Amino acid sequence: MASAKPSTPPTFTPWDAETHRDPYPQLRALQEHDPVHRFDLVSGWVVTSHADAVRILEDGSFSSRIRTSTFEQTRAAPVSPEDGADVPLQSFFERSLLFLDDPRHASVRRCVAAVFTPGAVARRESRIRQIVEATVAALPTEREFDFVKELAARVPAAVIADILGVPSSDVDRHLHWSEGIGIFLDIVKSEEQRAHATRCLGEMWDYFDRATAAPSSLPEDALMGRLAALCESSEMTREEMLAMCCLLSAAGQETTANLLANAMCALLERPELADRLRQDEPSLPTFVEEVLRTDGPIMGVPRVATQDVCLRDRPVHAGDYLIVVTAAANRDPARYDAPDDLTVDGPARPHLAFGQGRHYCLGAALARAEAVAVLSCCLRQRRFEPARPLAEIRRKPTQVLRGPAELWVRAPVRSAPRSSN
């Protein structure tokens, strides 16, 4: 049941320090009192209910071509007119799968889809496990360390580099670029942050441009090489191919790193849940789904209306920008019982953390496999304890991507479990 009407109308301010620390009370207020909220900063609307989120994401008439929206004319723009001179940036926003509409979106997605199906990911599982085991084995045993830097960021970076064919000596550079690029998704950012993100994208673009110029020097099964070949057979343009490499490198890194760190936060907060999962590994995938639902790595996704439409009683006009706050939808009391509670009792609850519809996350199976592999290895081999008060955890400064900036832990090696037989 909705609570009493608040004395001041709910607002949407994800950049505000208190909201950034815990966005969920603000999102619940919007959901209850103004689920299609007028948001003039981007000439558009903030949508927080599950039903509306699904409707928008499944309806192809809401476009992902955010460059063409009124959004870019605001100070919150991810791309502003002066970026016209900046070729990688402009190409990325115009040619990246994430920002294409059908029919081109479907053609470009077909070029890579087979590499990321659940079956293809299952065939890659032993490779993922190797990467995870090696990364966990390298963690300090005696002193405290930052889980984000030493594990959560490293595993996804190494896994996506392995798929693309990026040599391990270059992984740190890609990590740095991916972290920088994430700020593009934000509504409010400083000129300095924007300039840094543009530089990171430009350097990553140049890297893939050079690496794919000589495909014969790449490992035989490198996705980079296969994409370069598709380009030669004209199935995708060179710009689409480079945008794809950048998207895969960045999307496969920051999001999964946040998932791993958010999951570890939940386990540190509830050691009894960590003990239970240690005894009951089959519940790990449900735990991962619940972390995605209750504390997902992405707060929302953008769309642009291409025609006039009524959402509830609100007049959405063609060109209006829509921020679909999937993190709010994932805790909508109209959709879930005890929506804020993370529980592994019962089957996993479906959610929108990977989006829905045509743009459903290409890397969902990969992210899930990485998360289960990391958590399983950590729980089996180490006993994780917070090294600093959990209440003091600082989140990364990004507004759309959500995860801890640092997570200081101690992780002594567990003594060998007693055999039950």
Contacts of 278 (CB under 8 A, 6+ apart): 379, 380
Contacts to ligand HEM from residues 365-404, by CB under 6 A: 366-367
DSSP-assigned states of every residue in 58-108: H-TTEE--GGGSGGGGSTT-SS-GGGGG-HHHHHHHHHSGGG--TTHHHHH
Query: Stretches 122-130, 180-188, 331-339, 349-357: which one binds ligand HEM (CB under 6 A)?
Result: 349-357
Query: Residue 155 Cβ, how far from ligand HEM at the closest point, in Å?
Result: 11
Query: Residue 74 Cβ, how far from ligand HEM at the closest point, in Å?
Result: 19
**Nearest-CB residue for ligand HEM:** 363
Binding-residue pattern over the window 269 to 308 for ligand HEM, x denoting contact by CB under 6 A? ---------------------------xxx--x-------
Residue 256 interacts with ligand HEM (CB under 6 A)? yes
User: Which residue type is seen at 156?
Assistant: P
Residue 359 interacts with ligand HEM (CB under 6 A)? yes
Query: Residue 116 Cβ, how far from ligand HEM at the closest point, in Å?
Result: 6
Confirm if 268 and 310 have CB atoms less than 8 A apart. Answer: no
C-alpha to C-alpha distance for 341 and 321, rounded to whole angstroms: 31
Among 79, 121, 227, 247, binds ligand HEM (CB under 6 A): 247
DSSP-assigned states of every residue in 346-384: SSPPP-STT--GGG--TTHHHHHHHHHHHHHHHHHHB--
Query: Residue 313 Cβ, how far from ligand HEM at the closest point, in Å?
Result: 25
Query: Residue 189 Cβ, how far from ligand HEM at the closest point, in Å?
Result: 19
Note the Cα 66 to chain centre separation in Å. 18
CB 238: neighbour CB atoms within 10 A? 16
For ligand HEM, the closer of residues 125 and 275 by Cβ is 125
CA dihedral 270, 276, 277, 278 (to 10 degrees): 110
For ligand HEM, the closer of residues 77 and 324 by Cβ is 324
For ligand HEM, the closer of residues 344 and 374 by Cβ is 374
Helix (H) or strand (E) holding 261: helix 254-269
Confirm if 68 and 105 have CB atoms less than 8 A apart. Answer: no
Count interface residues toward ligand HEM (CB under 6 A). Answer: 26
For ligand HEM, the closer of residues 10 and 88 by Cβ is 88
Residue 353 interacts with ligand HEM (CB under 6 A)? yes
C-alpha to C-alpha distance for 401 and 31, rounded to whole angstroms: 20
Residue 224 interacts with ligand HEM (CB under 6 A)? no
Contacts to ligand HEM from residues 146-185, by CB under 6 A: 160
**Angle 401-16-68 from CA coordinates, rounded to 5°:** 55
Residue 23 interacts with ligand HEM (CB under 6 A)? no
Q: How far is CA 350 from CA 239, 286, 295, 336, 368, in A?
A: 35, 10, 14, 10, 14
Residue 252 interacts with ligand HEM (CB under 6 A)? yes
Binding-residue pattern over the window 53 to 82 for ligand HEM, x denoting contact by CB under 6 A? -----------x------------------
Confirm if 402 and 395 have CB atoms less than 8 A apart. Answer: yes
Confirm if 244 and 215 have CB atoms less than 8 A apart. Answer: no
In the complex, which residues of this chain contact ligand HEM (CB under 6 A)?
A: 64, 97-98, 109, 116, 160, 247-248, 251-252, 255-256, 259, 296-298, 301, 353-355, 359, 361-363, 366-367
